[in-house]
């Protein structure tokens, strides 16, 4: 990668689950310096930074404790970079309902600050923004039925949700991320920035500490391993497609490499049809893997919960040459290994938060 030598890359939210995995990959590139911009507000992220420090030369890893709501700090961080991966976000639907102003300031204004900083730098950096499938709302246009232990689309032609799906910003979180999503896309058209938007489904893998806002797959597996009760909202037949975080990083690298084709584009990203799983199916797989009995409580379904969301990733595959490679079994294996390696820390985080997490709330969250 001679053309990319001596470059500096900015990752907002870089101490989080996805950010730390991305930083690890970028640090493998000779001559690449990684600048992490994070307010360090989430549990577990300082451990991620310690892990990155153990893997990187200090001259190649820079950590800035700052917030995307601070426009001046964002501008300083972006002044000399050639790539920006904007992952910093308020990620919980429930939190956005309780505090919509903070949600807007972080997700919408924070993204605007990143875009303006990129424009002001004069370096035309590549900018990738992680959006969410929640921009499509409740998907009322995809009627479902129950088959076995999951919801399936009534139409036999359904192959996932593609980028042509109508936008329906449902909830303050959907509005703030959706507004940011559209700003990122438009800055390619109006200002010529090389921007890309990923509308992501469920991302899972190592370095998830299983907090409420860091992924329902890890939370379920950790809960089973630790013998904790899990509350299932509704029948548990809700379906999501799951993607390994390393497959996500592969996708980021693929759109960067193909930036002449991918600039200004929006891509749906998830595990697709072959990696779709329902809540109860995943729970049963956790039980099988661990040999630990499930402890479940059932309650009413949450209003507005999507019964079925599966990404159609054909656009990304055709334009960037990317394909998901890791199975759900491999995802669970990597998460379980991470738990065994960091059991004390993960169990400590579990004890510090509520005794249970409603799965549908977890399904409404985006990992950052």
Could you tell me the CA-to-CA distances from 269 to 113, 319, 361 in Å, in that order?
25, 13, 20
Instruction: Kindly report the backbone phi and psi dihedral angles of residue 352, in degrees, each rounded to the nearest multiple of 5, phi listed first.
Output: -80, -15
From 136, 151, 173, 222, active-site residue: 173
Q: What is the 3-state secondary structure (H, E, C) of the chain?
A: CHHHCCEEEEEECCCCHHHHHHHHHHHCCCCEEEEEEECCCCCCHHHHHHHHHHHCCHHHEEEEECCCCCHHHHHHHHCCCCEEEECCCCCCHHHHHHCHHHHHHHHHHHHHHHHHHHHHHCCCCEEEEEEEHHHHCCCCCCCEEEECCEEEECCCCCCCECCCCCCCCCHHHHHHHHHHHHHHHHHHHHHCCEEEEEEECEEECCCCCCCCCCCHHHHHHHHHHCCCCEEEECCCCCEEEEEEHHHHHHHHHHHHHCHHHHCCEEEEECCCHHHEEEHHHHHHHHHHHHCCCCCEEEECCCCCCCCEECECCHHHHHHHCCCCCCCHHHHHHHHHHHHHHCHHHHHHHHHHCCCCCCHHHHHCCCCC
For 53, how many CA atoms within 13 A lie in the half-sphere containing its CB?
9
Tell me, yes or no, if 151 is annotated catalytic. Answer: no
- The two structure tokens encoding residue 5: 């030598």
Known catalytic residues are 173
């Amino acid at each position: 990668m001679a053309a990319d030598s001596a470059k500096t890359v900015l990752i907002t939210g870089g101490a989080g689950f996805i950010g730390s995995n991305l930083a690890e990959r970028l640090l493998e590139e000779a001559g690449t310096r990684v600048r992490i911009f994070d307010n360090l507000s989430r549990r577990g992220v300082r451990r991620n930074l310690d892990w990155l420090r153990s893997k990187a030369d200090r001259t190649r890893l820079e950590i800035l404790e700052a917030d995307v709501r601070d426009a001046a700090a964002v501008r300083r961080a972006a002044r000399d970079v050639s790539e920006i991966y904007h992952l910093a976000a308020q990620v919980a639907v429930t939190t956005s309902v309780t505090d919509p102003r903070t949600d807007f300031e972080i997700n919408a204004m924070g993204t605007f600050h990143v875009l303006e900083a990129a424009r002001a730098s004069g370096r035309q950096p590549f900018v990738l923004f992680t959006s969410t499938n929640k921009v499509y709302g409740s998907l009322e246009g995809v009627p479902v039925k129950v088959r076995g232990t999951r919801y399936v689309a009534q139409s036999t032609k359904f192959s996932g949700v593609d980028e042509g799906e109508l936008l329906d910003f449902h909830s303050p979180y959907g509005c703030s991320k959706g507004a940011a999503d559209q700003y990122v896309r438009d800055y390619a058209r109006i200002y010529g920035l090389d921007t890309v938007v990923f509308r992501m489904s469920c991302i899972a893998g190592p370095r998830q500490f299983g907090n409420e806002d860091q992924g329902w797959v890890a939370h379920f597996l950790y809960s089973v391993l630790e013998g904790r009760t899990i509350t299932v909202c509704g029948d548990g037949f809700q379906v999501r497609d799951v993607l390994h975080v390393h497959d996500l990083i592969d996708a980021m690298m693929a759109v960067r490499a193909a930036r002449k084709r991918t600039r200004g584009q929006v891509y749906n990203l998830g595990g697709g049809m072959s990696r779709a799983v329902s809540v109860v199916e995943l729970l049963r797989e956790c039980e099988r893997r661990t040999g630990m009995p499930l402890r479940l409580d059932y309650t009413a379904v949450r209003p507005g919960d999507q019964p079925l969301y599966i990404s159609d990733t054909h656009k990304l595959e055709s334009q960037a040459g990317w394909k998901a490679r890791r199975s759900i079994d491999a995802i669970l294996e990597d998460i379980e290994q991470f738990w065994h390696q960091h059991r004390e820390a993960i169990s400590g985080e579990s004890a510090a938060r509520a005794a249970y997490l409603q799965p549908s709330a977890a399904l409404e969250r985006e990992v950052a």
